[in-house]
Amino acid sequence: MTAATSTLSIALCPEADNASEFDRITARQNATMVVLTAPTSTQDRPVAVIENRWIVADSSAHFGRMKAAISTCVGKTWTAASGQQETWASMTGLPKIGDGSISFLATAKVATKSGEVERYLPTTVARFANLAVMLQGLDDHDVGKAPTLTIGQLSTIFTEAATKIEHIAT
C-alpha cells in the first residue's frame, strides 16, 4: 500500500500564494505518516485513510496562509507535476477539528495497470497547537462508480483521529 500512497499529490494549484512554502513544509520526508488500509484495498484500487503530521513553527500564521491558499484552489482544475489533471471542490460533512480546519475534495483520473481509475481524496487540513495535520480518505475506484468510502465513515474516522492528535499536540 505504501507504494500507491507515495505518489499522492498534495501540491497546491498554480494560482495559490505560498505554494512553495506549503510544498517545503509538507514534504513527505518531514511527515509522521499513518496509513490505515481497508481489507478490500488493492495495489490498483487502494482504499485507505492517510494521516500526515508536521511540527510547524508559528503554526497559527502558517495555517492562516495555507487556508487562504487552499481556498484559492477550490473550484479549480489544473495539471499537477505528475501530469495528471487534478480538481479540487468544496466539501461538506467532514468535521471541524483542531484549532482550525478546512476541508476539500480532490479528484483525479489515474492510469493503472488494469485501466483508468478515479482517485477520490476527501481532505481536511488542520492545526493542532504546533502541528499541521492533513487527513485524507483515499479511494481509487472505477470511473463512473461511487467510491467505497462515505463522508459519514470519514467523519467518524477524522473525529477519532483528531481526538488522538489533540493528546499529542498538548
**Where does 17-98 have alpha helices with state H?**
19-25, 59-73
Three-class SS state of 29: helix
139-160 confidence digits (pLDDT tens)? 999 999 999 999 999 999 999 9
111-133 confidence digits (pLDDT tens)? 888 888 999 999 999 999 989 89
pLDDT at 99: 95
**Where does 14-150 have alpha helices with state H?**
19-25, 59-73
Query: Does the global pTM surpass 0.85?
Result: yes
For the chain, the domains span 2-169
Other Cβ atoms closer than 10 A to 78: 16
Distance of CA 122 to the CA centre of its chain: 6
26-77 confidence digits (pLDDT tens)? 666 567 778 888 888 888 788 999 998 888 888 888 888 889 889 999 999 9
Residue carrying C-alpha cell 513553527:
57
Count of all residues that appear for the chain in the document? 170
Question: How much is the average pLDDT of 102-110?
Answer: 93
**Where does 42-120 have alpha helices with state H?**
59-73
Question: Contact 154/92 with Cβ under 8 angstroms?
Answer: no
CATH class of the region 2-169 = alpha beta
Rounded to whole angstroms, the Cα distance separating 41 from 159 reads 22
